[in-house]
Amino acid sequence: MKVWLKRISLFFVLLFIFFSIVIYMALQSSPHIQPKHHIDANSAAENQRIVRRLVQSVRSEDPLIYLQATQSELHGLSAFGHRAISQLTSDIILFQNNALIKFSIELPLPNFVKYLNVEVMLIASQEGLDIDTVTIGNIALSGDLLINSAEWLANIYVKDEFGTELLSMIKSVDITSKQLSVGVVLSENLKNDPLNNKNSLFALRDKLALYGDVEVIRFYHQSLVETIEQSENRTLSFAEYIGITFGLVKQRNLAGITESHAEENRAALMALVLYFGTNEFELLVGDISMLSAKQLQQRNTLRAQVKLRQRVDIQKHFIYSVALQLFGTSTASNAIGELKEFLDSKNGGSGFSFADLMADRAGTRLSMLATDSDESALKVQEHLADITDEALLLPELTGLPEGISQQAFEFYYRDINSKIYREMLKSIDEQLQTIPVYKD
């Protein structure tokens, strides 16, 4: 018996040493890539173009579609990725017939193992996906090993044959020094009606319920619909709709119905997002609204009329930032807000607006504080329950520059890393801190 215990102990010691060596070789003390690109009006336009092209390709009736990106568009994606996730630095460099994909992730670990550095060499191919080598820190791996491992994990942990199906969709990869083009054939499962296909991603969505309890979200959404129907065609300010919803949250908490303040707030905010935001949000959450024709018409009217600080556009910036934080992270939400303002600064746009940016950052901060912990969630409930005053949700917008063209922005503020631009963001955050709900 003692012999077996010694052998088992030795096995675990050797296993620990092995994984320690692997981690030490994979993680490094410094990043192998530094940020080279940043968000500006041009990179924002690059991101917009690639998204539009992606949507058009996916909507195409052709069996074979091509997902394409130029070198400058890939730089734009790298810039946005770093702004959305500050710990991530990436770059994709195109050559003739191959592409070098590099990224570095800063980890919350000691300095000597703080960075995960990865390099992937993608090869042009007319027979699916072909990766030459993958380097993780000081560890070099075969591309085939990476592909096979990813396929196996997706088949096991997502659904049977899911990884295999995804890989089979990639038919070709064409690479020049100027453009990357991936030929894809969408599978029949993805083309079928997702709501009637039990094996679809939507069935997986309903099973995982990643964005909250669908029944609780539906309760708040239906309560909002009923409140609006009883308001005798009187359009309230957005702050009042927030107050009504969080008043109901507080009532449920006092009645002992809720289990988690943070999750209850998440459901309430998600209901507001689904009512005042785009219909596409519901695809991520589940079947919530189920509105009659009259209720649908009323919602569409309110979406175009409900104001925050006497402006519909400010209400939209606020609620969409709430949504982006619920679906992602606060940094990603803020980055998308900046991206939108840079697009507006281009010729023909309404101009870069720091007022819009304040609404973005307010919505993001509210969503973060409301769902971060039960302690902060309870404070948000106390501050927002039954409010009617917009001043309890957003400061006045006077004094915030708006309508700034690309040329004027570059002249006065230079870029997002300049001192004057960072001071503007600091000033906005300080103004938000004057409102009780946003205080730390």
Residue 3's pLDDT is: 58
For residue 193, what pLDDT band results from cuts at 50, 70 and 90?
very low
Burial of 89 (0-12, 13-18, 19+ CB in 10 A): buried
Residue scoring higher pLDDT (197 or 52): 52
Same domain assignment for residues 182 and 222: no
Q: Is residue 434 part of a domain?
A: yes
Give the best-scoring range by mean pLDDT among 48-62, 186-200, 264-278: 264-278
pLDDT the model gives residue 198: 41
In 38-126 the beta strands, taken as DSSP E runs, fall at 64-70, 88-94, 98-106, 115-123
High-pLDDT (> 70) share of the chain, %: 88
Using a 10 angstrom Cβ sphere, with 0-12 exposed, 13-18 middle and 19 or more buried, the burial of residue 364 is buried
pLDDT average, residue stretch 345-353: 84
Contacts (Cβ under 8 Å, ≥6 apart) of 145: 134
The pair phi, psi for residue 147, each rounded to 5°, is: -60, -45
Q: Could you tell me if residue 158 is inside a domain? A: yes
214/340 same-domain check: yes
Question: Residue 237 pLDDT more than 60?
Answer: yes
Are 74 and 217 found together in one domain?
no
Which of residues 164 and 18 earns the better pLDDT score?
Answer: 164
CB within 8 A of 357, min separation 6: which ones? 337, 338, 341, 425, 428
Residue 75 has pLDDT above 50, yes or no: yes
Q: What pLDDT sits at residue 189?
A: 54
More confident of the two residues 155 and 131:
131
Residues 182 and 272 in one domain: no
Element (H, E) at 132: strand 131-136
> pLDDT tens digits for 34-72?
888 788 888 888 888 888 887 787 677 788 889 899 999
Mean of pLDDT values over 320-343: 85
The predicted pLDDT at position 166 comes to: 85
Average pLDDT over residues 339-349: 81
Angle between helix axes 312-327 and 354-372 (nearest 10 degrees) is: 40
Pairing of strands 64-70, 131-136: unpaired
Is 108 part of a structural domain of the chain? yes
Helices 374-384 and 261-276 pack at an angle, to 10 degrees, of: 50
pLDDT per residue over 117-138, tens digit each? 999 999 999 999 999 999 998 8
Same domain, 245 and 381: yes
User: Which of 162, 191, 220 is the endpoint of a domain?
Assistant: 191
Residue 197: per-residue pLDDT: 44
Q: Note the pLDDT of residue 428.
A: 96
Query: Encoding tokens for residue 437?
Result: 């709900």
**Residue 439 per-residue DSSP state:** -
DSSP class of residue 329 equals -
pLDDT at 190 over 70: no
Give the range among 214-228, 330-344, 353-367 with minimum mean pLDDT: 330-344
Sort residue 387 into left (φ over 0), alpha (ψ -120 to 50) or beta: beta
Q: Whole-angstrom Cα distance, residue 117 to residue 114?
A: 10
259 and 329 in a single domain? The answer is yes
> 371, 326 in Cβ contact below 8 A?
yes
The answer to the question of residue 385 being in a domain is: yes
For the segment 160-165, the average pLDDT, to the nearest whole number, is 82
Which residue in the block uniquely carries the two structure tokens 């994606």?
77
Name which of 92-96, 285-289, 394-398 the model is least confident about. Answer: 285-289
Assigned domain for 169 exists: yes
pLDDT of residue 187: 64
Q: Is the pLDDT of residue 1 over 60?
A: no
CA separation for the pair 174, 130 (Å, rounded): 11
Place of tokens 């080598």: 133
Q: How many angstroms separate the CA atoms of 255 and 184, rounded? A: 53
294 pLDDT exceeds 50? yes
* Domain, as residue range, for 50: 27-191
Within-domain flag for 324: yes
Domain assignment present for residue 49? The answer is yes
Half-sphere exposure in the Cβ direction for 431 (13 Å, CA)? 22
**238 token code pair:** 């957005």
Mind listing the pLDDT tens digit for each residue in 367-420?
Answer: 999 999 999 999 999 999 999 999 999 999 999 999 999 999 999 998 888 999
Same structural domain for residues 381 and 243?
Answer: yes
Q: Element (H or E) spanning 185, and its range?
A: strand 179-185
The least confident of 24-28, 314-318, 349-353 is 24-28
DSSP, collapsed to helix, strand or coil, labels residue 260 as coil
Same domain, 312 and 171: no
Chain-wide mean pLDDT for the chain?
Answer: 86
pLDDT at residue 315, rounded to an integer: 96
* Three-class SS state of 53: helix
Residue 199 has pLDDT above 60, yes or no: no
Distance in angstroms (rounded) separating the CA atoms of residues 249 and 262: 11
Out of 27-31, 35-39, 178-182, 385-389, which region has the weakest mean confidence (pLDDT)? 35-39
Q: Is 139 helix (H, G, I), strand (E, B) or coil?
A: strand
| 424 and 305 within one domain | yes
Same domain, 310 and 423: yes
Single residue among 191, 225, 245 that ends a domain in this structure: 191
Q: Which residue, 191, 219, 235, sits at the end of a domain?
A: 191
Q: Closest Cα to residue 89, out of 141, 37, 26?
A: 37
155 & 244 share domain: no
pLDDT value of position 194: 44
Say how far apart CA 121 and CA 287 lie, in whole Å: 41
**Residue 240 scores a pLDDT above 70:** yes
Q: Assess whether 129 and 224 both reside in one domain.
A: no
Q: Which pLDDT does position 403 carry in this prediction?
A: 93
6, part of any domain: no
Q: Please tell me which residue, 10 or 386, carries the higher pLDDT value.
A: 386
The answer for residues whose C-beta is within 8 angstroms of residue 362's C-beta and 6 or more apart is 318, 321, 393, 394, 432, 438
Model pLDDT, residue 45: 82
| Band (11; pLDDT cuts 50, 70, 90) | low
Number of separate domains in the chain = 2
**What is the pLDDT at residue 201?**
52
Residue 57, token pair as written in the block: 């390709």
